[in-house]
Amino acid sequence: MKNLPKIALSLIAAGVFAQANASTITLSTGYSTAGAQASAAAYQSVVNAAVATPGAGYGTTTLASYNNVTNSSLFGSGSNIAFKSVINFGVSAADAGAWSFRSGVDFGKGGALFLDGVALDFKSSDLWWAGNYNSSSQFLAGSGTLSAGNHTLSIFGLEGCCDGGQQVQFKAGSSNFTSFSSTDGLVSAVPEPTTYAMLLIGLGLLGFTARRKQDDKF
């Protein structure tokens, strides 16, 4: 078992970098009877308050793919839903430049789309994309110029009833739209500070173990 510390370090390194090199999708929902809001910031505030105390029939989970997502299939409730989606993804140097995003939603009371904390789109009307993007009035969309590194796309919305399937997609440059997923091919050009911290802790433990073995010899 003398190689156990090295094996543990390898697992730590593989784990933290694997986590940093894939899009992560977190969906949070909560109970809300709030109506249409007057701004993107208002949707953000109302939804954040609702998902903070979700209640039965609502919750938080990590998604493997953002396709045909419903609260009813994940948590049970099909009505009075506040939706918050946070997608963390990376842009490589080769893919830096123009990016586009679209979110097919079922937000009967409207919603908002944010990129790195800045509102890209907001609609207070009844949004129902119905599985296609033929009408821009029925989904949330936006674009921006992204540098290499880590970015965050956030979607906030309110649904009164019926809870239809939802989807979130991206397009880099002139490529085709692709749904966010844990296998979407996006990589993080700059690992998060916590990634380095975990690796340094592992290196420290390995060094400590090696030092103890050296001391034991004497």
pLDDT score of 13: 42
The mean pLDDT value for 150-175 works out to: 96
The DSSP call for residue 120 is: E
pLDDT score of 14: 43
Instruction: Give the CA radius of gyration of the chain.
Output: 21
Question: DSSP letters of 130-172?
Answer: TT--S-GGGSEEEEEEE-SEEEEEEEEEEE-S----BEEEEEE
The whole-angstrom separation of Cα 11 and Cα 14 is 5
Q: Where are the beta strands (DSSP E) in the chain?
A: 24-31, 60-63, 81-91, 97-104, 106-107, 111-115, 118-123, 127-128, 140-146, 149-159, 167-172, 178-179
Closest CA to 11 of 212, 206, 213, 149: 206
By DSSP bridging, strand 118-123 and strand 178-179 are unpaired
Q: Report residue 23: phi and psi, to 5°.
A: -65, 140
pLDDT score of 110: 98
pLDDT score of 215: 58
Say whether 199 sits in a helix, a strand or coil.
Answer: helix
pLDDT of 3 higher than 70? no
pLDDT above 90 as % of the chain = 74
pLDDT of 48 higher than 50? yes
pLDDT of 56 higher than 60? yes
The whole-angstrom separation of Cα 17 and Cα 9 is 12
Say whether 127 sits in a helix, a strand or coil.
Answer: strand
Largest CA distance in the chain: 77
pLDDT of 72 higher than 70? yes
Of 4-8, 12-16, 78-82, 103-107, least confident by mean pLDDT is 12-16
pLDDT tens-digit series, residues 187-198? 754 554 554 455
pLDDT score of 22: 74
The mean pLDDT value for 97-104 works out to: 98
pLDDT score of 218: 53
pLDDT of 217 higher than 60? no
- Calculate the average pLDDT of the chain: 86
Strand partners, 28: 60, 84
